[in-house]
């Protein structure tokens, strides 16, 4: 009888230990998932938070464990940015019964937050956060391609219809020019012709942005190519009190590109940098730096400036056709550049903050 009791106790102890091991194992898995997890009980107290969620909140796990939402919001570790996000999620979940939330963190990464509650949770609230930055980037790229395709259709349909009447107007104005010259109104002729040419240039931009010609690639040394572009912009930079610096450390690197198209892209980026520096003020000493780096099978061209920089909203729309922050801009320069680099099998990225300048990185195939 005694031995049976002892066997039962040993069996119970082994079962308990086995259960505890399984529990510890699963808790360890939850704690180190790449998705963030946080659990509140029916009384609103935090009972579990894993490493990723604590990192996302910017708070230590020990300091907020067992706290209510109000106590968490009082934590000095939490940034104002994160406190606002928490309040927004709370309001949308409680008042609007919203279960899925999409948000971005302070580093610009996108997260999908899912809230689970109800009978299956026995009164608890489970929040899980998954990093969907890569999916968001794919989505934005697809959206960008759709817009460029639509732009192509619009450009192709309007270019022919507008160019024909412009050509006729230009011809008749030139016929009338001698008569206007006799009346002392030649300045009017000059202005009309100049504006017609400007309209034609805009149409050309439409066509280029819709379908840039296939690149005729050749192997060229990257530093001499950049030198040529710098020479084209030096006079404008001097007039604006700006200095353009080219780091010539990678003289031996060659890239496989269409020279004319790549010059167009780099020229556009430098002119944008000059405009951004000019917007800061007359007493600001402008600096544009061009640097070349080798990255495996690619060559990266870095173009950075100390201009006014851009906010997050501007960055997300930067390569959209027709989007511009300039009063006289068409909003096509960067969308054209984006398409040209893509056609070369490369990438173009940008990093910027308000008041801290902007850096573009163009990655192009290295010539073998």
Fold of 32-131: Beta-Lactamase (3.30.450)
pTM strictly above 0.75: no
- Where b means 16+ CB within 10 Å and e means fewer, 86-114 reads eeebeebbeeeeeeebeeebeeeebbbbe
Domain layout of the chain by residue ranges: 32-131, 136-210, 218-365
Element (H, E) at 28: helix 2-31
Beta-carbon contacts of 116 under 8 Å, excluding residues fewer than 6 positions away, are 99, 125, 126, 127, 128
d(CA 114, CA 340): 39
Give helix then strand counts, H and E, for the chain.
Answer: 11, 12
Per residue of the chain (368 residues), what is the pLDDT tens digit? 546 665 666 555 555 555 656 556 666 677 777 788 888 888 889 888 888 888 888 888 888 888 888 888 888 888 888 888 888 888 888 777 888 888 777 777 888 888 888 777 788 888 888 888 877 777 777 776 676 667 666 666 777 677 778 888 888 888 888 888 888 888 888 888 888 888 887 777 666 655 666 788 899 999 999 998 888 888 888 888 889 999 887 678 899 999 888 998 999 899 989 888 876 666 668 899 999 998 888 999 999 999 888 888 888 888 877 777 777 666 778 888 888 899 899 999 999 888 888 999 999 998 87
β strands within the chain, DSSP E: 36-40, 46-49, 100-104, 110-116, 125-131, 218-221, 242-246, 254-257, 286-295, 298-305, 347-353, 357-365
User: Can you read off the two tokens belonging to residue 341?
Assistant: 């680099």
Q: In what order do the strands lie in the sheet with 110-116?
A: 46-49, 36-40, 125-131, 110-116, 100-104
32-131 with 218-365: one CATH topology? no
Q: Does 218-365 carry CATH code 3.30.565.10?
A: yes
């Amino acid at each position: 009888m005694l031995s049976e009791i002892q066997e039962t106790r040993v069996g119970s102890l082994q079962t308990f230990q086995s259960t505890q091991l399984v529990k510890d194992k699963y808790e360890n898995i939850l704690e180190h998932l790449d998705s963030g997890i946080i659990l509140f009980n029916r009384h609103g107290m935090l009972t579990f938070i894993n490493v990723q969620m604590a990192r996302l909140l910017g708070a230590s796990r020990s300091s907020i464990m067992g706290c209510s939402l109000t106590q968490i919001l009082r934590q000095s570790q939490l940034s104002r940015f994160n406190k606002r996000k928490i309040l927004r999620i709370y309001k949308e979940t409680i008042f609007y019964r919203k279960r899925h939330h999409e948000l971005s963190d302070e580093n610009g990464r996108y997260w999908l937050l899912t809230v689970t509650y109800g009978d299956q949770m026995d009164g608890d609230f489970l929040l899980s956060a998954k990093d969907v930055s890569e999916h968001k980037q794919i989505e934005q790229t697809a959206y960008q391609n759709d817009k460029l395709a639509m732009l192509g259709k619009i450009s192709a349909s309007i270019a022919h219809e507008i160019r024909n009447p412009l050509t006729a107007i230009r011809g008749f104005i030139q016929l009338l020019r001698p008569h206007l010259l006799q009346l002392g109104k030649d300045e009017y002729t000059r202005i009309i012709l100049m504006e017609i040419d400007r309209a034609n240039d805009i149409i050309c931009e439409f066509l280029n942005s819709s379908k840039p010609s296939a690149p005729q690639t050749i192997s060229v040394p990257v530093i001499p190519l950049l030198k040529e572009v710098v020479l084209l912009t030096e006079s404008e930079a001097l007039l604006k009190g700006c200095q353009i610096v080219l780091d010539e450390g990678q003289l031996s690197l060659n890239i496989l590109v269409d020279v004319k198209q790549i010059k167009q892209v780099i020229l556009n980026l430098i002119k944008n940098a000059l405009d951004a520096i000019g917007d800061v003020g007359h007493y600001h000493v402008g600096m544009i730096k061009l640097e070349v780096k080798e990255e495996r099978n690619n060559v990266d061209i870095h173009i950075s400036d100390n201009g006014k920089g851009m906010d997050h909203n501007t960055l997300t729309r930067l390569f959209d056709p027709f989007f511009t922050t300039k009063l006289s801009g068409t909003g096509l320069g960067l969308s054209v550049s984006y398409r040209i680099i893509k056609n070369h099998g490369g990438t173009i990225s940008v990093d910027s903050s308000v008041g801290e300048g902007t850096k573009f990185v163009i990655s192009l195939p290295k010539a073998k």
